[in-house]
Amino acid sequence: MPEDKRTGKHLKKQRNIIKNSDNLDFLHEKFLEIKKAEGRAERTIKQYIENYAFFTEYLDKRGIPRLMSALNKDIMRGYVIYMQSEIVRYEDHRFVLDKYKTVGIKPATINTRLKTLRVLFNCLRKENLIADNPMDGVQNVKEPQEEITVLTDDELKHLLNAPNQRMYTGFRDYVLMVYLLDSMSRISEALGLKTANFDYDTRTVTIPATIAKNRKSRIIPLQPQTARLLRELIKENKTDFDSDYIFLTNYGGPMNLSHLRQRLVDYAKRAGVKKNVHPHLFRHTAATKFLQNGGDIRHLQKLLGHSDIRMVQRYTHLSNKSLIDQHAKYSALNNVMGNLNKPRKTKR
């Protein structure tokens, strides 16, 4: 009788994917594989990983096991409360001033982290890897509709005069600020630009799909002075560095966003600008002034790279003075009241 080769051997009965279906880390890895196969941008994948790490940090602090069976709606709402009342903003950022390190992160940041968890659990349920979604019924935090601050023309002039252009880093920062103001690019798009994306003859920059937030490439026209500055910076880089990127550190590596934030804070202090100057402020300021100067909102949408016109509304907060001036100039009452509606001189 032939020997039974199964004697003393471990028999595989259950599929690993089923055996591990309660392990949150395992499921997250499966989720990342799915999203990479779908062609999600590297930056998006990185955001998935970072936001998952924030969530598991909360689970570990609370002693909650990283298991799907341990998660429910109450746990997820507890995570929201934890982000609102326990996390210190910018706690691990070396270059952020202490006055900005406040308890509780911004509602928009909380909602971004919740969005990642919704995408995660919705994907897993769609793939039949989990039965229930613990995010079902968990609402976003209400985001206050505050008037967003923009830079005035004088503040912009003082800010652009702050870098010492005789130094490489000062000239690079000056070119970057001019480029952000002219192109209205996101800072991630600007720092990801390579020399091949810039065409001096047509004075345009192509934002490739690989670095665009919506994964759609777009072409941005530039003013002549911006194009000249970019060309000069590229020429400067080629003298000492072997890199395809346009905006480099003084040792030739790609610029770091955190370092740039601190440099902008320093420039603002040097220029006497009291507002919180950060990279995105250039994009918002430029978009607002584009509309104030008579630009069309549909063209602005294309320049900003938004697929949904509603997203552009966040960049269209006209100043109160602009609204007052426009109302005074174009009110229908002017048509019927004539001189009676004009302000009268009462004092010298």
What is the total residue count of the chain? 348
Question: What mean pLDDT is predicted for residues 184-188?
Answer: 92
What's residue 265's pLDDT? 93
Lowest mean pLDDT among 27-41, 99-113, 236-250: 99-113
Using alpha carbons only, what angle is made at residue 183 by residues 177 and 186, rounded to the nearest 5 degrees?
75
Residue 93, pLDDT above cutoff 90: no
Estimate to the nearest angstrom the gap between the alpha carbon of 148 and the chain centroid: 16
Residue 156's identity, in one-letter code, is L
pTM (2 d.p.): 0.64
176 vs 155: CA distance, rounded Å = 17
Residue 97, pLDDT above cutoff 70: no
CATH of 153-324, one of 1.10.443.10, 3.40.390.10, 3.40.190.10, 2.60.40.1930: 1.10.443.10
What's residue 16's pLDDT? 46
18 vs 8: CA distance, rounded Å = 24
What's residue 232's pLDDT? 96
DSSP annotation of 136 reads T
What's residue 76's pLDDT? 96
SS3 338: helix
Residue 179, pLDDT above cutoff 90: yes
DSSP annotation of 106 reads -
What's residue 47's pLDDT? 92
Residue 3 — pLDDT band, cuts 50, 70, 90? low
pLDDT 10s digits, 267-306: 999 999 999 999 999 998 998 888 888 788 888 888 888 8
Question: What mean pLDDT is predicted for residues 89-114?
Answer: 74
Buried b (16+ CB within 10 A) or exposed e, 67-84: ebeebeeeebeebbebbe
300 vs 287: CA distance, rounded Å = 7
Question: What mean pLDDT is predicted for residues 98-109?
Answer: 76
Question: What mean pLDDT is predicted for residues 206-228?
Answer: 89
What's residue 294's pLDDT? 78
pLDDT 10s digits, 13-63: 544 444 567 899 999 999 999 999 998 878 789 999 999 999 999 999 999
Q: What share of the chain is helix, strand, coil (3-state, %, to 5)?
A: 55, 5, 40
174 vs 164: CA distance, rounded Å = 8
Residue 324, pLDDT above cutoff 90: no
Each domain of the chain, given as residue ranges in start order, spans 16-126, 153-324
Question: What mean pLDDT is predicted for residues 175-200?
Answer: 94
* Average predicted confidence (pLDDT) for the chain: 84
pLDDT cut 90: percent of the chain above it:
56
